[in-house]
């Protein structure tokens, strides 16, 4: 009769057997293990590089944006336009890249490139959700460009929409509505102009209200 195997011996035998089996499996599949290790290492390296690149690109975006702003402030709209266009293209996902589209629109507006200005303002407006600081100014800039292109009805619509959805310049509401009415008048949309001016009567007093009443009388004939 064979001697009974103690629990300790059984545990040791099981551990040894499992270790040997594991070693044999690794030996048989060592190429797969090596490839998996390489993939993990590469993934970690790429993640680290992406974080570093993002930090570096953020620094470059800020630097180039500052250079573009300096040109804009001195009235060098040609250089400003070139630099803002570069920042918007290369760093469109950053805060500087988003705001660059707005200033690109401003440079083009100042240079009389109204169609290009409209496109730049629209790009900023579309991306302004997380960076809304210049939203109202961009909508106004687009309206001005439309007006300068003699697209009066579109300009009037833009001003009305801006007056209804002002985010920062609430004190400009009556100004925007007056511009809307004037553009509707220029676009032969008399009824729209009358509607906007009629709504303004309740928002104005004194001589300002009297001027609106006179204009309404003229429009109504």
Confidence bin at 16 (pLDDT 50/70/90): low
pLDDT for the residue numbered 41: 46
pLDDT for the residue numbered 27: 56
Q: What is the mean pLDDT of residues 118-138?
A: 95
* 61 has pLDDT over 80: yes
Report pLDDT digits (tens) over 24-51: 655 565 555 444 544 454 455 444 434 4
Contacts with 140 (C-beta within 8 Å, 6 or more apart), sequence order: 159, 162, 176
* Tokens standing for residue 6: 């103690």
| Percent of the chain clearing pLDDT 90 (strictly above) | 67
DSSP structure string for 75-106: T-HHHHHHHHHHHHHHSTTSHHHHHHHHHHHH
Output the average pLDDT for the chain: 83
Asked if 156 and 194 touch (Cβ cutoff 8 Å), the reply is no
Q: What is the mean pLDDT of residues 75-81?
A: 96
Considering only residues 32 and 155, tell me which one the structure prediction assigns the higher pLDDT: 155
Confidence bin at 170 (pLDDT 50/70/90): confident
Radius of gyration (C-alpha) of the chain in whole angstroms = 33
């Amino acid at each position: 009769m064979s001697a009974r195997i103690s629990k300790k011996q059984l545990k040791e035998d099981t551990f040894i057997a499992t270790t040997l089996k594991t070693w044999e499996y690794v030996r048989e599949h060592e190429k797969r293990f090596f490839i998996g290790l390489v993939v993990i290492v590469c993934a970690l390296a790429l993640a680290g590089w992406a974080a570093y690149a993002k930090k570096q690109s953020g620094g470059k975006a800020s630097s180039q944006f500052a250079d573009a702003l300096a040109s804009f402030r001195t009235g060098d709209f040609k250089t400003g336009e070139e630099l803002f266009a570069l920042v918007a293209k290369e760093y469109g996902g950053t805060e500087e890249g988003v705001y660059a589209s707005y200033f690109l629109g401003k440079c083009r507006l100042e240079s009389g490139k109204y169609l290009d200005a409209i496109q730049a303002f629209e790009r900023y407006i579309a991306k302004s959700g997380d960076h809304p600081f210049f939203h109202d100014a961009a909508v106004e800039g687009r309206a001005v460009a439309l007006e300068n292109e003699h697209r009066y009805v579109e300009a009037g619509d833009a001003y009305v929409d801006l007056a209804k959805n002002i985010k920062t310049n609430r004190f400009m509401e009556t100004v925007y509505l007056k511009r809307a009415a004037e553009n509707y008048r220029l676009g032969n949309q008399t009824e729209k102009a009358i509607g906007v001016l009629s709504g303004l009567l309740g928002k104005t007093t004194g001589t300002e209200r009297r001027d609106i009443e006179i204009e309404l009388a003229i429009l109504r004939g």
